[in-house]
Amino acid sequence: LAGILDTKIGIIGGGQLGKMMAQDTKKMGFHLTVLDPEANCPAHSLCDRHVVADLYERRTYREMAETCDVLTYEFEHIDAEYLLTLENEGCRVYPTAKNLINIQDKLTQKRMLQEGGAPVPEFTPLDKKNDIFAAGEKWGYPVMLKTRRGGYDGKGNAAAERPEQVEEALNSLLPEGGNINEIFVEKWVQYDMEASVLACRGLDGAIAVYPLAKNLHEDSILRSTAAPAGVSPLIAENSRRIGEMVTEIFGGIGMFCIEMFVTKDGLLVNEVAPRPHNSGHYTIEACYTSQFENHVRAVTGLPLGSPHMKTAAAVMTNIISPPFFSGAYRVSGAEKALGLQGVTLHMYGKQTARPKRKMGHITVVGNDLNEVRKTAEEAASYITLVKD
Ligand SMILES: Nc1ncnc2c1ncn2[C@@H]1O[C@H](COP(=O)(O)OP(=O)(O)O)[C@@H](O)[C@H]1O
Ligand SMILES: [Mg+2]
């Protein structure tokens, strides 16, 4: 009789998130198939079977559905419509294809959040260019234009500081002849802090919510995450409630990351990702059950583990390749970084660097957040990528 541990798992995408999911699937001994177009992708050496193929090929999805018991993904810009077809034929996909379809479109996502009672910044869909000026007059400038689909690391957003910049912001997002319906506009949020919670829902309906963590972005790319975020108990409690609420709104199974703004009036949800997230990497060393392990537990139907921190403080710092760096590389400074107390180094094993590509991260744990932060800065300063 096959038990849960005999579940064959398939992951679409074998980058760093796929790799860290793979580490936990293999920890528990699951059979793992990974789909990724790169022969030497980060998850390659950890899976039982690597399907080297395009991430959007329907034939490949079907083959994965036929050979795996459950499919999940590390990346949300995939063919969700076809996953829905496979799901309707009996394939298990978590988070479900419907979750993915709703979240892929940032406007649909925002509407569902709002209708479900989650606090979100004011936003409005667009029929014509004048709707942007109307929003600017109503809310004041800047306003933030966002493409509904395909955005990441700030690509897909453009702010207009003044009415005169609206045209330029719009053109930067909309391809020539593109439909303005593909963009929506959001009120500018004057936030004190960006933060996120991870919320995971198991097949039995149990929800595990991780502590609110504080995120620092540089050029819209996550630079570091600190946990706990250091907010008041009330805000911490609200973030937990929002975490539960969001998984209920989408009815999701698996890990969800909820990015939020902390403002003087409380929390606003910025966006939701239906997967483990860069801002949750600290959970590997700092929590009883990491975001990746709980995700694997959720999609296979195992009970969830505790999301609580087992250390007082943690800081994760991304190792990002420099803006003008491409090609083969070596990592230097690991000996010095790991010589400091509480430091863990993760290198993803990407074959080549590209400008501002996420290549690895450092996590530091300890008893005091200020100390941990200092150590993280020092450790990160030692790690450099050099041309090979
Ligand atoms: N309404 C807003 N007001 C102010 N800053 C914003 C707003 N929306 C997004 N941002 C900033 O842009 C960053 C990226 O936007 P986000 O919507 O999270 O897109 P992405 O999918 O690229 O992560 C956010 O982390 C935040 O710093
Ligand atoms: Mg974001």
The model's pLDDT over 113-139, given as tens digits with 9 standing for 90+, comes to: 999 999 999 999 999 999 999 999 999
Q: What is the DSSP letter of 252?
A: -
DSSP code for 353: B
In angstroms, what is the span from residue 238 Cα to ligand 1's centroid?
Answer: 21
Whether ligand 1 lies within 6 angstroms of the CB of 59 is answered as no
pLDDT in tens, 341-382: 999 999 999 999 999 999 999 999 999 999 999 999 999 999
Distance 335 CA to ligand 1 centre (A): 36
Q: Give, in degrees to the nearest 5, the angle at Cα 279 between 152 and 121.
A: 60
Q: What is the structure's pLDDT at 366?
A: 98
33-37, 50-54, 148-152, 316-320: which range is least confident on average? 148-152
Given a cut of 90, whether residue 309 has pLDDT beyond it is: yes
- For the CA of 261, the closest atom of ligand 1 is 26
User: Residues with Cβ < 8 Å from 376, sequence gap 6 or more?
Assistant: 224, 315, 316, 317, 343, 362, 364
Task: Please give the pLDDT value at position 1.
Answer: 67
Query: Does residue 143 register a pLDDT over 90?
Result: yes
Q: Which ligand is the nearest neighbour of the Cα of 154?
A: 1
Pairing status of strand 313-320 against strand 221-227: antiparallel
Cα separation of 260 and 266, whole Å? 10
Q: Which residues surround ligand 2, an ion (CB under 5 A)?
A: 259
For residue 45, is pLDDT > 80? yes
Structure tokens, 187: 């009120």
Ligand sitting nearest the alpha carbon of 217: 1
CA 347 / ligand 2 centre spacing (Å): 22
Assess whether pLDDT exceeds 80 at residue 281. Answer: yes
Specify the ligand 1 atom closest to the Cα of 188: 3
By the 8 A CB rule, do 297 and 269 touch?
no
Is any ligand 1 atom within 6 A of the Cβ of residue 37? no
Could you give the angle at which helices 97-104 and 80-88 cross, rounded to 10 degrees? 160
To test ligand 1's pocket by mutation, which of 220, 225, 278, 356 has the most ligand atoms within 8 angstroms of CB? 220
pLDDT band at residue 2 using 50, 70 and 90 as cut-offs: confident
Whether the pLDDT of residue 193 is over 90: the answer is yes
Dihedral (CA of 123, 125, 126, 130) sign = negative
Residues 23 and 103: their CA atoms lie apart, in Å, by 26
Closest CA to 225 of 281, 154, 271, 288: 281
Radius of gyration of the chain (CA): 21
Q: In what order do the strands lie in the sheet with 49-51?
A: 49-51, 31-35, 8-12, 70-73, 92-93
Distance 153 CA to ligand 2 centre (A): 6
- Decide: 306 in ligand 1 pocket, CB within 6 A: no
386 CB-near residues (< 8 Å, 6+ apart): 329, 330, 331, 332
What type of residue is 167? E
Q: Do 314 and 285 form a contact (C-beta atoms < 8 A)?
A: yes
Cβ–ligand 1 contact at 285 (below 6 Å): no
What is the best residue among 110, 258, 270 to mutate for testing ligand 1's pocket, by most ligand atoms within 8 Å of CB? 270
Indicate which residue's Cα is closest to atom 16 of ligand 1: 154
What value does the mean pLDDT take over residues 16-23?
A: 98
Helix or strand or coil: residue 181? helix
Rounded Cα distance, 4 and 204, in Å: 14
Contact between 272 and 257 under an 8 Å Cβ cutoff? The reply is yes
CB-neighbour burial class of residue 339 (10 A; exposed 0-12, middle 13-18, buried 19+): exposed
